[in-house]
């Protein structure tokens, strides 16, 4: 057999180059503001400006709409590297992908050109409005309505836990257009922040990702052209689920980045911290913890990259791999960041060091874009279907 069949898997050179480039931007311009964004709860505009200048704010948008045309793996690496220093800032490229993915999957060419182009240029961000207070894991039970009125639709309802709400200019909104038929009666629309009747609630007071605003979005007789419907009537829920198959990979990437950041910091700390006359990194108990942390991060990364490849190709088993990557990586991130706090001892519990922030940020990755309990249901169903 040819030797190439036994080559160890490694990233292509161009993807490693992307990692180096985004890490340089993040170390220089994103990391310095991470603690302040967490403390103030304000959107990290400096991070956005830096990512936009380097074309990392929405790298997934195809070249034909003015984007960088990064594939799913490259986009995952960008999100991972931003999350390594600031989870809040990593939601800039992640949510831009979440908000625009329905258009990439289902929208008309006209709608794509109208809305993807300004996002690619860095003139607007895009958020995703699916969740409601009584329609979280059971998204199909949403109450937001969109009623036809001639060549327009009129939207009424409330969406909650919307990431970057109030900062984004554009929103993919899912609403019931045909009541009584469940998921088959849901359609998707593009709504603009400036549309009359759109307003926002107060920012949620959160455990983590505080630099990324999370708010309710209110739609009060919001009248929009029918041409802003994404895909055909009644296909919105299917588009939402297809979107999540792809974007769960981005949450996995975020989780990997957070975990890597915590591992990196803890590794440096235990080599400097001395007790009983030597660095605590020399103690076997500490080494065991570090080894487990490193193993979990790398396992999560490899599963995430495999899922990214399936996302790019649109493989039939993407649903399973997207759920698996998101679930495994987020669980790993929670474990690794908690261990990082433990390795720093009392200092890990203070805001003088970043690992407590990373632990708080990691928690949401187990919850949003489908709780990990839901991911396990998704995986089990896929396995049982063969």
Contact indicator for 158, 88 with CB cutoff of 8 Å:
no
Helix residue ranges, H only, 166-283: 236-272
Catalytic annotation, pick one of 80, 81, 132, 369:
369
Total Cβ atoms within 10 A of residue 56: 25
Token pair of 237 as six digits: 């829920």
Can you spell out the DSSP letters for 291-321?
A: HHHHHHHHHHHHHHHHHHHHHHHT-TTHHHH
171, β-bridge pairs: 127, 191
d(CA 119, CA 75): 15
In the structure, how many helices (H) and strands (E) does the chain have? Answer: 11, 10
Tokens 């720093």 locate to 344
Tokens 């060091």 locate to 353
- Residue 190's SS3 state is strand
Token pair of 386 as six digits: 């063969």
Whether 204 is a known active-site residue: answer no
Active site residues: 369
């Amino acid at each position: 057999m040819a030797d190439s069949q036994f080559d160890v898997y490694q990233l292509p050179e161009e993807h490693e180059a992307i990692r180096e480039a985004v890490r340089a931007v993040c170390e220089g311009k994103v990391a310095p503001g991470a603690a302040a964004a967490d403390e103030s709860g304000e959107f990290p505009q400096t991070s956005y400006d830096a990512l936009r200048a380097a074309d990392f704010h929405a790298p997934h948008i195809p070249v034909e709409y003015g984007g960088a045309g990064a594939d799913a793996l490259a986009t995952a690496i960008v999100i991972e590297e931003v999350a390594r220093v600031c989870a809040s800032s990593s939601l800039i490229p992640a949510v831009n992908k979440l908000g625009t993915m329905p258009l990439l999957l289902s929208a008309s060419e006209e709608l794509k050109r109208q809305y993807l182009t300004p996002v690619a240029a860095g003139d607007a961000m895009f958020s995703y409005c699916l969740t409601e207070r009584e329609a979280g894991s059971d998204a199909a039970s949403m109450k937001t309505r969109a009623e036809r009125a001639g060549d327009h639709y009129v939207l009424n309802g409330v969406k909650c836990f919307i990431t970057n709400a109030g900062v984004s200019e554009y929103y993919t909104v899912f609403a019931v257009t045909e009541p009584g038929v469940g998921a088959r009666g849901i359609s998707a629309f593009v709504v603009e922040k400036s549309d009359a009747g759109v307003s926002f609630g107060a920012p949620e007071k959160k455990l983590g990702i505080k630099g990324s605003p999370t708010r309710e979005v209110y739609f009060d007789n919001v009248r929009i052209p029918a041409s802003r419907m994404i895909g055909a009537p009644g296909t919105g829920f299917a588009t939402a689920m297809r979107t999540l198959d792809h974007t769960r990979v981005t949450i996995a990437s975020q989780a990997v980045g957070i975990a890597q950041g915590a591992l990196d910091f803890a590794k440096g700390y235990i080599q400097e911290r001395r007790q009983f006359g030597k660095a605590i990194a020399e103690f076997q108990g500490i080494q065991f913890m570090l080894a487990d942390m490193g193993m979990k991060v790398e396992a999560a990364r490899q599963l995430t990259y495999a899922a990214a490849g399936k996302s790019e190709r649109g493989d039939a088993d993407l649903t399973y791999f997207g759920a698996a990557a998101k679930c495994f990586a987020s669980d790993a991130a929670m474990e690794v960041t908690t261990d990082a706090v433990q390795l720093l001892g009392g200092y890990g519990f203070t805001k003088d060091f970043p690992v407590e922030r990373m632990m708080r940020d990691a928690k949401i990755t187990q919850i949003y874009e489908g709780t990990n309990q839901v991911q396990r249901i998704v995986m089990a169903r896929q396995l049982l279907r063969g």
